[in-house]
């Protein structure tokens, strides 16, 4: 934010529209000043995560914490001074509108994916060698962090360690990966693979029978989610097992899998067994639902059209 104050007019040009995309939310100050200085037509704030609700709900920070107060001030300033508020979260208006005092400002424009922009990149031989054959594979790709509630999936793998037909495949890195691996270091039904390139994600998803997404049991997600992980899974035409409350997630809206209660290894096990018992045609139907939904509603042409209407 501080560096933006020193951005030269030659580099900035004379913008007609300014979009500040969080997080961080602090550059809304720069956006507001630039709008006044260059007489820009409109200032937009794009909210990707709700702050300071995220640290309050996920880490237990007090609403009176100084940093929470500071971020809250910037948030209020952003909502009230911007000409339009774009959120990736479908239900965020219930939180934002009372602060902005202008419901007409709110617009839902989620994340997206475009198959034509993805290049297919083969998986390394050593990665292919780690993927078990003739197993019902429950897979996860992405960051292994707190917001993904992966500890419950790990516990589910422990509960299923005697089941030789099911295997768990965890692809990615993150600050919780080491601790998750320690919990199952004696297990033979789970494999951890290091982070792969974005263009290799669709390749590894071909080997999954079910793709997992986890959420914590917190009011934070009542406002909705727009994780790119959904779109990767759905573009690969794979059924999704979601451990979450009903939150109008892309997978729930698309009916491309099943949702079980959050923070419950037992519920995850039950969901996996239910999916494993389905016919190939039923699993294919789930995958097909997800593919058609994401291609129709989350392609960049569709999303850019929504933005062009704001302009």
Instruction: Count the residues in the chain.
Output: 311
Check pLDDT > 90 for residue 12: no
- pLDDT score for 88: 94
Check pLDDT > 90 for residue 116: no
- pLDDT score for 144: 95
Q: Which fold has domain 116-297?
A: Rossmann fold (3.40.50)
- pLDDT score for 187: 94
Q: What pLDDT band is residue 265 in, cutting at 50, 70 and 90? A: very high
Check pLDDT > 90 for residue 115: no
Find the range with the poorest average confidence among 49-53, 71-75, 163-167: 49-53
Q: Which two tokens stand for residue 228?
A: 């790119």
Distances (CA, A) of 260 to 106, 197, 263: 31, 30, 9
The structure's pTM equals 0.88
Q: What share of the chain is helix, strand, coil (3-state, %, to 5)?
A: 50, 15, 35
Q: What pLDDT band is residue 200 in, cutting at 50, 70 and 90? A: very high
Per cent of the chain over pLDDT 90 is: 86
Predicted confidence (pLDDT) per residue in 216-231, tens digit: 999 999 999 988 899 9
Residue 31's Cβ-count burial label (10 Å; 0-12, 13-18, 19+) is: buried
Nearest to 200 by CA among 242, 241, 232, 234: 232
Burial 103-123 (b: 16+ CB within 10 A, else e): eebbbbbbbbbeeeeeeeeeb
What does the domain layout of the chain look like in residue ranges? 3-108, 116-297
- pLDDT score for 247: 87
* Same CATH fold assignment for domains 3-108 and 116-297: yes
Tell me the three state secondary structure of residue 240: strand
Per CATH, is 3-108 categorized as 3.40.50.2000? Answer: yes
């Amino acid at each position: 934010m501080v560096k933006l104050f020193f951005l030269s007019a030659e580099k900035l040009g004379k913008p007609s529209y300014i979009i500040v995309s969080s997080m961080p939310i602090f550059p809304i100050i720069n956006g507001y000043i630039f709008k006044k200085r260059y007489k820009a037509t409109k200032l937009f704030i794009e909210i990707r995560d709700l702050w300071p609700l995220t640290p309050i709900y996920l880490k237990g920070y007090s609403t009176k914490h100084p940093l929470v107060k500071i971020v809250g001030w910037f948030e209020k300033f952003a909502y009230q001074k911007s000409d339009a508020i774009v959120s990736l979260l479908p239900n965020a208006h219930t939180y934002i509108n009372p602060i902005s005092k202008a419901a007409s400002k709110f617009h839902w424009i989620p994340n997206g994916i475009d198959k034509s922009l993805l290049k297919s990149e083969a998986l390394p031989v050593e990665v292919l060698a780690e993927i078990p054959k003739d197993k019902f594979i429950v897979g996860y790709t992405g960051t292994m962090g707190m917001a993904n509630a992966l500890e419950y999936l790990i516990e589910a793998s422990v509960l299923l360690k005697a089941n030789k037909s099911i295997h768990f495949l965890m692809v990615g890195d993150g600050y919780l990966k080491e601790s998750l691996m320690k919990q199952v270091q004696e297990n033979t039904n789970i494999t951890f693979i290091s982070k792969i390139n974005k263009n290799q994600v669709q390749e590894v998803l071909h080997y999954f029978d079910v793709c997992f997404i986890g959420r914590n049991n917190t009011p934070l997600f009542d406002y909705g989610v727009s994780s790119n992980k959904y779109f990767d899974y759905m573009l690969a035409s794979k059924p999704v097992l979601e451990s979450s409350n009903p939150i109008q997630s892309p997978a729930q809206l698309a009916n491309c899998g099943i949702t079980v209660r959050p923070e419950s290894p037992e519920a995850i096990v039950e969901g996996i067994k239910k999916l494993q018992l389905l016919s190939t045609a039923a699993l294919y139907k789930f995958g097909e639902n997800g593919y058609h939904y994401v291609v129709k509603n989350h392609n960049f042409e569709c999303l850019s059209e929504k933005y062009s209407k704001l302009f």
